[in-house]
Structure 1
Amino acid sequence: MKTEKLFYKNQFLSSCKGILTEINEDGVIFDKTVAYPEGGGQIGDIGYLIREKTNEKIEFFNTTKIKGRNIFLEDFPSIKVENLIVHHIDKEILKTLEIGESFIIKIDTEKRARTTLHHSGLHLALMVLETIRPNIRKSIVGAKITSTYGRLDFATENKFSKDELLLIEEKSNSLIEEGLEIVTFPHKEEKEALYWQCLDYCIPCGGTHCENTKYLGKMKVKRKNIGKTSERLIIELSEIENFRNLYL
């Protein structure tokens, strides 16, 4: 059995009803969820579960994915789809739950919204960076997207200069002000293999994203030296519009 990922049908859903289908040592799995699991560098959602039988409110402090089906598509990274999604809760509470119970699953929309914006903002910065250093995406060796920053790690000995950082920041903020459309769409052969696109720049990504650059506010771009042959690009967003209000 797989978990139905409602965030792919409507990423602005903030809650849903789910039936408990499995309990493991880390948490609980439902037939469906609105909670995005950790993956592709993006942190997992947090929130709480309401146990309908008792109206008990149970915090989940992370969301991850397990199992799934491997896919191998041309010009697309190898990923797993049709995963089970684990909502991590206090281990003591696990002992009290029963398979088949109904729960309401609610996510922390403030954290999701800010993480979503930093994810799209990071792609925008990469889009600009590739006009300066073409095909640098092939050198990406790591990523992290949280509610307060986004970062990309590159395998390169060529450190980012102050002029490059300033150009990335200025151009990204200019694109934000333009209010450009952002679209996500599936691969023609696999609905969970998704792309992110702004203008003519397209990159594989299954994370959550805003639908327009106008929501991104103001971007600050920094670098960090993480080794002789590695370099880190970091973006932080401020003056973010109230994107959270879009959640249902």
Structure 2
Amino acid sequence: MKTEKLYYKNPLQTSCEAVVIEKHPQGLIFDKTVAYPEGGGQVGDVGFLTRTSDNFQIPFFNTTKIKGRNIFLEDFPSIKVETLIIHHIDESFLEKIEEGDIFILEINKKNRSQNTLHHSALHLALMALEDIKPGIDQKIIGAKITDKYGRLDFAIDYKFSPELLKTLEDTCNKYIEENIPVEIYSHPKEPEALYWKCKNYSVPCGGTHCESTGNIGVVKIKRKSIGKYSERLIVEVPENNNFLNSYK
């Protein structure tokens, strides 16, 4: 038993009809979902669940994955595939719901669109940084992608200079202006082991992404010191109504 991940088939789909297949202490598990679960640093989707039989509506405040099958592939991070996905709700609602109930799942489009923009922008920033400091991707020790920012933490013994940040920002915005296509493709041995590719740069990533760099709009980049031997790179993307309106 697993949850069908509709966000891989159509990343712009924001609602679907689904059946409750399991009640979990933290929420509900459905046979399918459009809600992206927390993973790879990206926060989980939020939204509403509406029961079709009586229009009973419940907010879900996070989405996470459990169980699944571990995979170990050469040159790919160890991940779980074929997972179940929990839509987190207040536990007081659980007694009012039964397995087999049918719900309309709807994600918060604005939240998803900004998460997606920040995730894609963070890839552009790392792509630009790799050109200047090859191998720095091996120094990543943390990541977080939200609707407000995207960040990467590095274990390095120097600080990102203002000149470097300006170069990264200019390069990212140049890529955006060029409207370069982005490709998402699967590992030949595992359909859920996904890659993000732009130009000749490819990295393992199963997050949500724009179809082209031009969707992003504009990127601002800054840094933060988080220790003597660690540095944080932060990207920020203003709200983009054109991209938001592409969600269905």
- Identify whether the pair has TM-score above 0.5, normalized to the shorter chain: yes
Q: For 1:170-185, what aligned pairs fall within 5 Å after superposition?
A: 170-185=170-185
How do residues 10-159 of structure 1 correspond to structure 2 at under 5 angstroms? 10-159=10-159
Instruction: Give the AA of the match of 2:51.
Output: R
Offset, 1:87: 0.2
Aligned residue in 1 for 2:216: 216
CA contact (8 A) 2:114 2:239 kept: no
DSSP-derived class of the 1:99 partner? coil
Q: Which amino acid aligns with 2:96?
A: T
Q: Where does residue 236 of structure 1 map in the other structure?
A: 236
What does the per-residue CA deviation read over 1:173-192, in whole Å, with 9 as the maximum and x for residues that have no partner? 11111111111110000000
Distance 1:169 1:117, change over 3 A: same
Structure 1: segments with no counterpart, 5+ residues: none
TM-score, with normalisation over the residues of structure 2? 0.98
**Cα distance between partner residues in 1 of 2:60 and 2:101:** 17
CA distance, structure 2, for counterparts of residue 225 and residue 151 of structure 1? 12
2:87 is aligned with what amino acid? H
Give the letter for the 2:153 counterpart.
Answer: D
> Tell me, what secondary structure is at the counterpart of 1:95?
helix
Does the aligned pair in 1 maintain the 2:22–2:28 contact within 8 Å?
yes
**TM-score, normalisation: structure 1:** 0.98
CA distance in 2, matches of 1:21, 1:244: 31
Contact 1:216 1:241 (C-alpha < 8 Å) held by counterparts = no
Is 1:161–2:161 an aligned residue pair? Answer: yes
CA RMSD of aligned residues (A): 0.8
Helix, strand or coil: the match of 1:160? coil
- Look up the SS of the partner of 1:203 in the other structure: strand
Q: What's the offset of the Cα at 1:241? A: 4.9
In the TM superposition, residue 95 of structure 1 has moved relative to its aligned partner by 1.1
Gaps of at least 5 residues in structure 2 are: none
In 1, Cα distance between equivalents of 2:13 and 2:226 = 38
CA distance in 2, matches of 1:69, 1:45: 22
1:238 to partner: Cα distance: 2.1
Q: Please tell me whether the aligned partners of residues 218 and 240 of structure 1 are also in contact (alpha carbons under 8 angstroms).
A: no
3-state SS, counterpart of residue 113 of structure 2: helix
CA deviations 1:117-152 (Å, max 9, x no partner) are 110000000000001110100111110000110000
SS of residue paired to 1:80: strand
Identity %: 58
Q: Distance in 2 between matches of 1:145 and 1:182?
A: 18
Residues 12 and 33 (structure 1), Cα distance of their counterparts in 2 relative to 1, 3 Å cut: same
Aligned letter for 2:92? E
Q: CA deviation at 1:239?
A: 6.0
Report the alpha carbon displacement of residue 102 of structure 1 after superposing the two structures with TM.
Answer: 0.5
- Flag the 1:175–1:241 CA change in 2: closer, same or farther, 3 A: farther
Q: 2:159 is aligned with what amino acid?
A: K
Q: Deviations over 1:44-72 (max 9, x none)?
A: 00000011121111100110111110000
Answer whether contact 2:36 2:63 (CA < 8 A) is retained: yes
* Letter aligned with residue 174 of structure 1: K
Does the 8 Å contact 1:218/1:239 carry over to 2? no
Amino acid in structure 2 at the alignment position of 1:199 = K
Q: Tell me which amino acid in the other structure corresponds to 1:68.
A: G
| Whole-angstrom CA distance in 1 between matches of 2:118 and 2:182 | 14
